[in-house]
Amino acid sequence: MTDTKTVILDGAMGTMLQSRGLRPGEKPEIFALSNPQAVEEIQRDYVKSGSRILYSNTFGANRRKLDGTGHSASDVIKENIAIAKRASSEAPGTRVALDIGPIGELLSPLGTLSFDEAYDIFKEMVVAGADAGADLVVFETFTDLQETRAALLAAKENSTLPVWVTMSFEADGRTFTGTTVSCMAVTLQGLGADAIGINCSLGPKEILPLIKEMRQWTDLPLIAKPNAGLPDPATGSYFITPEQFAAEMEPFFELGVHATGGCCGTSPAFIKALSEKASHYGSKSEQARRNGICSSSSMAEYGRTHLIGERINPTGKKHLKQALLEHDMDYIMKLAIQQADAGADILDINVGIPNVDESLLMKEVVQAVQSVVRLPLMIDSSKAEAIETGLRYACGKAIINSVNADDAKLEEILPIARKYGAAVVGLAMDRKLPTTVKERLEHARKIVSRAEKAGISRQDIMIDCLTLTVSAQQDQALLTLEALRRVREDLGVHAALGVSNIAYGLPDKSHITCAFLNLALYNGLDFPIINVNSQDIMDTVTSYRALNGQDIDCKQYIERFAQQQTMAQSTEKHENSEGISLEEAIIKGLGQEAEKATSKLLETMDALDVVNDRLIPALDKVGEQYEKHLIFLPQLINAANAAGRGFDLIRKKLPKSSDASKGKIIIATVEGDIHDIGKNIVKVVLENYGYDVIDLGKDVPVNTVVERTIEENARLVALSALMTTTVESMRRTIEALKKSGHDCKVMVGGAVLTEEYAHQIGADFYTKDPKESADTARRVLGK
Amino acid sequence: MEALLTDIPEKEVLRYLGHDRQIIDTDLKAQIERCINSVKSSSRPRLTYTVREVKDGIINGLDLGGNDIKILLSSCKQAIIMAATLGPEAEQMLRRAEVLNMSDAVILDSAQSTAIENVCDNFEAMMRQKYKEEELYLTDRYSPGYGDLPMESQKKILDILFTEKRIGLTLTPSNIMVPRKSVTCIIGISDQKQRLVLRGCANCTLNRNCSYRKGGLCHD
């Protein structure tokens, strides 16, 4: 179907300006302020060549890049939009797009720029562009999907202009940060982009297969703005002619791509050739054939079974509750990595504990989890605010868990789902639990109809038919399964289901859980919410996938069970090996053996005696060996880790009242620095010496260090900095700590520091290695 | 040009780890091999470079500051400016290891440092070969932080190479390259044979506090 005519965009600006006096390294946006004529002439040339949308010369006009130029983003944008508007008068109907590129710094956790700051930077640009009279906003050349999301949200929340988004890919279909074409398309369509596509980095030939793939994942209008082929690596110059370029662009017109133009290496001549070639074609829109749940790089496509890992949910989990209260993100990241390694396709995130700000905690946990795994997320909360926060920071297209058929709930949650393009789990209940299939179906129908009215596609709805405990309500198990089958067949929506509840109160839960899971899968459950760490459950899923043909040639089945056989053999071998002493286990860095030896000692010794008479002396010996160069760093850490396994066991044995902790230590990599490996080494060693280490992470603001030190009443603060440039913020942190009047000592470490340098910046102690940090801790904390 | 990671020599990894003749048992050896293999199999190295004219030791349009670079380039008419990165995959791998197993993390960190050096070595070797055919000779690689070449010159190098757009390499406000396992360097091109003297401790970013140097075990 032909909707409208293909739109011709413009070509390169930077290279064109170089021929008009722009020096290398000079910013084109600033150059325009003193040479408006040069920019206007180039843009007029583009319009004369057929461009009907001009991109303003504002690609890098963000406040970070303009810092130090003496110009504000807003002024630079207003001036450049005015230039483009003058040029657009060359042909009536020509529109001006506010052009915005990436900020130029990577977002945390890779870089130091926060999502909120990025949002704010884009907001400033969008507001200025809209005020100056831009007709639309174009974000282009993005490579990080999270930064792109910040940009798109900033545009959508602060203007009414249409927003187009194009990203740059490598020939393998991924951006530098790993975003795939499918994840980009699904995420940005969900977030409300008006058109999406690909620009820069590659030529038309390389972009064509990627645009074809994008077509499958979105029904939005598509944009292609390729470079003039691939450049010579040494000189950066391009070779193909305007005619070749236009010929290579022809397949894009045949695909019905909505807007085409050129990026690096193109000129008005290219646009003219392109425009002539395009004159016979129209833009087509097609129903997207594929869809799913995704992160920036991992797609759980609809049509298969996807496992949702349920472990990040504090209900009934003491340790996780504690970790959430203490903001111990390491613990939560471990849970995330373990589930990813065990085979989860999606992770459920629930941080609902009493007396905390659930939104803030949700933000912290979502960001921590995303920094170590690249799986899509399910945002699980009973509070609308926490759900919205989770969706805002979750990169990709997430799932909301959950709504139900209660009117108030639907009104509250569905608009949030619509805004962020999330899928929704609908519990087949209202304020009370259903008892029949019919009731469940009625609730499901209501949810589907209300969701569709709210603008959510039926494809993005998952109904949860509710698992009730079989030991209490025996008749319900089969009814749940029947309702599940009907929901899938009659309503054509997906099914999500938490299965663990079935076994509540029964012995040896795994048998009944697996049997129920099998039946549910057979009845069409495609989004089971399960404990992926359970071997029995994963065995069940693996077998099911082999039986229903999703596991082609039973490959995964064979891999899993062949591996389990070898593993069983190797454990046997280990268990036959003779037990060794705790000291030897620690010195050799053997965690399992250290745990066994500790457990044996605990049979005859008091727990605290094991710590003081065995564990600590063994660690001391290790430290001594390290000082004498008898062992080196990996061996020191392995030993510390082995001791840690012993400690963990002892902590479990100790009655609550007794305190094995030897004192609190605050540890942080200072503001502006993101090197945290040194800090983490010291942390592991200190923890395994029995200190209570509170890790504030990397790039930690001065105030945060001071506040947390006072809040925790810590007597020792350990700071790390690896760069000469960040030692200055170390100095400021120490100064602020001293000024606060809080009684504490500061020890510092890091590659560029020396004893002398450390004292110059006011530190009490310089520690050259992890061993010395443990010695210093003992000196200061007296244990 | 394609960035090539061909080898991560265990010897180099051990050097970064501060290994000094300590006995390595089979468990540790296996751990080191596992870490090296995972860096090899999951890195996506990228590089970009440009060749610029040099006059009186200064690269055209790229005055980096400091005297040492001028001395390096004193006999050169051209210079190669190069940036390479192991990419964000390496970064996430390290982050995961830091959560799960810190000793894996330090070994991975060293293996990644060795890997990015290998990428640079391969690039340099290819360039040396290429220019040899034209009877031109290359100087040593020289990077911000060596000698008196200021860290602030990093930004100028990244800008001139458009590293953000070409290989996804950016700089934080404190001049830290992100992804962190990244290297920039200058290599002079001369028609005179070059004495390769500038590598080693005096021209290393860690020269103020390096345990290998203290032990007298560094590469020179």
Question: Could you report the per-residue pLDDT of B86-128, keeping only the tens digit for each?
Answer: 999 999 999 999 999 999 999 999 999 999 999 999 999 999 9
Residues in CB range of A105: below 8 A, 6 or more apart? A64, A111, A112, A113, B170, B171, B172, B173, B178
Mean pLDDT of B160-170: 93
By C-alpha distance, the chain B residue nearest A142 is B165
Question: A183 and A299 in contact (C-beta within 8 Å)?
Answer: yes
pLDDT, residue B216, reads: 39
- Please tell me the distance in Å from B168's CA to the nearest CA on chain A: 6
A677 contacts B105? CB cut-off 8 A: yes
Residue B25 neighbours by CB distance under 10 Å:
11
Question: Which phi and psi (to 5°) does residue A497 adopt?
Answer: -160, 130
Q: Is B194 near chain A, with CB under 8 Å?
A: no
CB contact under 8 A, A337 and B96: yes
Backbone φ and ψ for A498, nearest 5 degrees, come out as: -85, 120
Helix, strand, or coil here: A748? Answer: strand
C-alpha distances out from residue B187 to A208, A272, A439, B50, B156, Å = 37, 41, 75, 11, 16
Terminal C-alpha separation, chain B: 30
On whether the A582-653 domain is CATH 1.10.3720.10, my answer is no
H helical segments located in A654-688: 677-688
Contacts A635 to B, Cβ<8 Å: 22, 28
Q: Where are the beta strands (DSSP E) in B90-214?
A: 137-142, 170-171, 177-178, 182-190
Which of B1, B98, B170 minimises the CB distance to A106? B170
Asked if B167 is an interface residue toward chain A (Cβ–Cβ < 8 A), one would say yes
Contact B164 A201 (CB under 8 A): no
CATH architecture of the domain with range A2-284 = Alpha-Beta Barrel (3.20)
**% of chain B at pLDDT higher than 90:** 73
Per the CB < 8 Å rule, is A143 touching B168?
Answer: yes
Same fold, A2-284 and A292-533: yes
- What is the ipTM metric for this complex? 0.88
Residues A290, A294, A296, A297: is their CA dihedral positive or negative?
negative
CA distance A456 to A423: 8
Query: Cβ A372–B50 below 8 Å, yes or no?
Result: no
Band of residue B202 on the pLDDT scale cut at 50, 70, 90 = low
Rg (CA), chain B: 18
Say whether B174 and A672 touch across the interface (CB within 8 A).
yes
Q: Are A298 and A344 in contact (CB under 8 A)?
A: no
Give the DSSP H/E element, type plus range, for residue A351.
none
pLDDT over 50 (residue B213): no
Q: How far is B196 from chain A (nearest CA, A)?
A: 24
- Tell me, yes or no, if A337 comes closer than 8 A to chain B by beta carbon: yes
Low-confidence ranges of chain A (pLDDT < 50): 1-2, 573, 575-576, 657
* Residue A654 · residue A607 · CB < 8 Å: yes
Per-residue exposure over A43-73, b if at least 16 CB sit within 10 Å of its own CB, e if not: bbbbbebbbbbbbbbbbbbbbebbeeeebeb
Please give the Cα distance from A481 to A460 (Å, whole number).
Answer: 21
Round to whole Å and give the CA distance between B107 and B103.
6
Query: Among A24, A635, A726, whose Cβ lies nearest the Cβ of B61?
Result: A24
DSSP assignment, residue A553?
G
Contact B196/A at CB under 8 A: no
* Contact flag A751-B209 (C-beta cutoff 8 Å): yes
Mapping DSSP to helix (H, G, I), strand (E, B) and coil, where does residue A391 land? helix
Q: Chain A residues with CB inside 8 Å of B25's CB?
A: 588
Residues of B in contact with A640 (CB under 8 A): 102
User: Does the beta carbon of A426 lie under 8 angstroms from any beta carbon of chain B?
Assistant: no
Which residues in chain B touch residue A24, judged by CB atoms under 8 angstroms apart? Answer: 61, 160
A22: which DSSP letter? P
Interface-testing mutation among B29, B42, B164, B210, with chain A (most A C-beta atoms within 10 A): B164
> What pLDDT, on a 0 to 100 scale, did the predictor assign at position A661?
73
**Contact between residue A659 and residue A650 where contact means Cβ atoms under 8 Å apart:** no
Dihedral sign, Cα of residue B159, residue B161, residue B165, residue B170: negative
A363 sits in the region (left: phi over 0; alpha: psi -120 to 50; else beta) called alpha
| Chain B residues inside the 8 Å CB shell of A177 | 88, 168
Interface test with B, best of A635, A722, A755, A766 (most B CBs within 10 A): A635
* Contact flag B50-A725 (C-beta cutoff 8 Å): no
Q: Which amino acid is at B203?
A: N
For position A167, what pLDDT does the model report?
Answer: 98
Our CA-based measurement puts residue B197 at a distance from the nearest CA of chain A, in whole angstroms, of 24
Mean per-residue pLDDT, B197-203: 54
CB of A369 closer than 8 Å to CB of A377 = yes
Nearest CA-CA distance, residue B193 and chain A, Å: 23
Annotate A33-63 with three-state secondary structure: HHCHHHHHHHHHHHHHHCCCEEECCCCCCCH
For chain A, positions 656-675, list CB contacts with chain B under 8 A.
672-675
Give B194→chain A minimum CA distance, Å. 22
Instruction: Establish if A709 touches chain B: CB-CB under 8 angstroms.
Output: no
Give Cβ neighbours of residue A5 (< 8 Å, ≥ 6 apart). A281, A282, A283
Decide if A573 touches B, using CB distance below 8 A. no
Q: How far apart are the first and last CA of chain A?
A: 78
Residues of B in contact with A372 (CB under 8 A): 92, 95-96, 99
The share of chain B scoring above pLDDT 70, in percent, equals 89
- Residue A624: how many other CB atoms lie within 10 Å: 12
Q: How far apart are CA A288 and CA A281, in angstroms?
A: 21
Interchain CB contacts (distance < 8 Å): A and B = 154
> Per-residue pLDDT for B150 more than 50?
yes
Find residue A136's DSSP bridge partners.
Answer: A97
Whether the CB of B159 is below 8 Å from some CB of chain A: the reply is yes
What's the burial of A549, exposed, middle or buried (CB within 10 Å: 0-12/13-18/19+)?
Answer: exposed
Architecture of domain A292-533: Alpha-Beta Barrel (3.20)
Number of H-type helices and E-type strands within chain B: 8, 7
Q: Residue A680: its chain B contacts at CB < 8 A?
A: 98, 102, 105
A589 has a chain B CB within 8 A of its CB: yes
Provide the pLDDT for residue B204. Answer: 53
DSSP-assigned letters across all residues of A155-211: HHHH--S-EEEEE---TTSB-TT--BHHHHHHHHHHTT-SEEEEESSS-HHHHHHHH
Residue A478 neighbours by CB under 8 Å, 6+ apart: none
Cα–Cα distance, A584 to A289 (Å, whole number): 61
Backbone angles phi and psi of A602, in degrees to 5: -65, -20
Q: Does the beta-carbon distance from A637 to B174 stay under 8 Å?
A: no
B179 touches chain A (CB under 8 A): yes
For chain B, the structural domain boundaries read 10-214
B46 Cβ contact partners less than 8 Å away, ≥ 6 residues apart: A176, B3, B84, B85, B87, B166, B167, B168
Is residue B153 scored above 80 in pLDDT?
Answer: yes
pLDDT at B219: 39
Classify domain B10-214 at the CATH topology level.
Answer: NADH Oxidase (3.40.109)
Please report, for residues A346, A505, A540, A611, the alpha-carbon distance to residue A771 in angstroms, rounded to integers and kept in the order given.
40, 49, 47, 18
Asked if A617 and A662 count as a contact pair (C-beta separation under 8 A), the reply is: no
* Separation CA B183–CA B166 (nearest Å): 14
Question: Which residues in chain B have Cβ-Cβ distances shorter than 8 Å to A25?
Answer: 61-62, 156, 159-160
pLDDT of residue A45: 98
Share of chain A above pLDDT 70, in %: 97
Distance of alpha carbon A760 from alpha carbon A724, whole angstroms: 14
Cis peptide bond upstream of A36, omega within 30:
no
What H or E segment, with its residue span, contains residue A3? strand A2-5
**Is A588 in Cβ contact with B178 (below 8 Å)?**
no
- For residue A454, the surrounding DSSP H or E stretch is none
Partner residue facing A178 (CB), from B17, B89, B94: B89
Nearest-CB residue to B102 (from A373, A631, A641):
A641
What ranges do the domains of chain A cover? 2-284, 292-533, 536-573, 582-653, 664-781
Angle at B180 between CA A327 and CA B220, to 5 degrees: 130
Residue with tokens 């002619």: A241
The answer to whether B180 contacts A143, with C-beta atoms less than 8 Å apart, is no
Task: Give the gap in angstroms from C-alpha A641 to the nearest C-alpha of chain B.
Answer: 8
Chosen for mutation from A628, A677, A686, A725 (greatest number of chain B CBs closer than 10 Å) is: A677
Q: Does domain A664-781 have CATH number 2.40.50.1070?
A: no
CA distances from B131 to A98, B83, B187 (A): 45, 19, 12
Q: Which two tokens stand for residue A662?
A: 């030897």
Pairing of strands A377-380, A7-8: unpaired
Interface of B with A in 38-97 (CB under 8 A): 46, 48-51, 61-62, 87-89, 91-92, 94-96
Confidence of residue B208 (pLDDT cuts 50, 70, 90): very low
Q: How far apart are CA B114 and CA B95, in angstroms?
A: 18
Sheet holding B46-55, edge to edge: B58-59, B46-55, B76-85, B182-190, B137-142
What's the one-letter identity of residue B28?
A: L
Tokens of A552: 């082609």
Which residues does A94 contact at the CB level (< 8 Å), separation at least 6? Answer: A47, A51, A52, A53, A54, A88
CA distance B176 to chain A (A): 8
A200: chain B residues, CB-CB within 8 Å: 165
Inter-chain residue contact A634 with B107, CB threshold 8 Å: yes
Which residues of A fall within a CB distance of 8 Å from B19?
632
